[in-house]
């Protein structure tokens, strides 16, 4: 699939920003930023939340929460379903949402280990970059 519209614009903006960084601060600055991205969102266990939130681990389930100790270090970013239901509630209060309304969250599938999420993503052939629910585009009626 060839990139279109906003994807092309995104590439132009990104490559322009890369050029500016290299021009003013040198190639080491660009390498530093790329390495930081890889280390920050690579195989580090905390990066498991990127995969855990939106990849389909169980058929038909679009999003997942994570209930584990990593939430203490990430401001409860694992309470993903709760966040989508109530985006204005601060992360510090998301565990309370689950506690107050267990009938809405206890039956949903969830993760307890971001490390296991990464392991499953690497080793389970059913979980891959294409294991996502894709909604059809709705056409505007005139």
For residues 97 and 89, the answer to whether their CB atoms sit within 8 Å is yes
CA distance 139 to 142: 9
CB 111 within 8 Å of CB 52 = yes
Q: Residue 141: pLDDT band by 50, 70, 90 thresholds?
A: low
pLDDT digits (tens, 9 = 90+) for 77-123: 999 999 999 999 999 999 999 999 999 999 999 999 999 998 999 89
Residue 95 contacts by C-beta under 8 Å, 6 or more apart in sequence? 71, 76, 79
pLDDT for position 137 = 74
Average pLDDT over residues 14-24: 97
The DSSP output letter for 135 is: P
Contact 68, 113 (CB under 8 A): yes
Give the model confidence (pLDDT) of 38-86 as tens digits. 777 776 777 788 889 989 998 888 899 999 999 999 999 999 999 999 9
pLDDT at 136: 76
Global pTM reads 0.70
Cα–Cα distance measured from residue 141 to residue 129, given in angstroms and rounded to the nearest whole number:
32
Pair 105, 81: CB distance under 8 Å: yes
* Pairwise CA distance, residues 16 & 14, whole Å: 5
């Amino acid at each position: 699939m060839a990139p279109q519209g906003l994807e092309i614009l995104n590439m132009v903006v990104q490559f322009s920003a890369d050029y500016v960084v290299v021009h003013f601060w040198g190639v080491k600055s660009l390498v530093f930023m790329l390495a930081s991205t890889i280390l920050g969102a690579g195989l580090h266990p905390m990066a498991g939340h990127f995969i855990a939130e939106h990849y389909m681990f169980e058929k038909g389930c679009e999003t997942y929460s994570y209930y584990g100790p990593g939430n203490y270090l990430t401001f409860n970013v694992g309470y993903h379903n709760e966040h989508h239901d109530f985006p204005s509630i601060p992360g510090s209060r998301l565990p309370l949402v689950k506690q107050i309304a267990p009938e809405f969250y206890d039956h949903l599938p969830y993760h307890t280990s971001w490390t296991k999420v990464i392991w499953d993503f690497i080793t389970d052939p059913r979980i891959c970059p294409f294991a996502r629910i894709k909604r059809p585009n709705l056409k505007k009626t005139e």
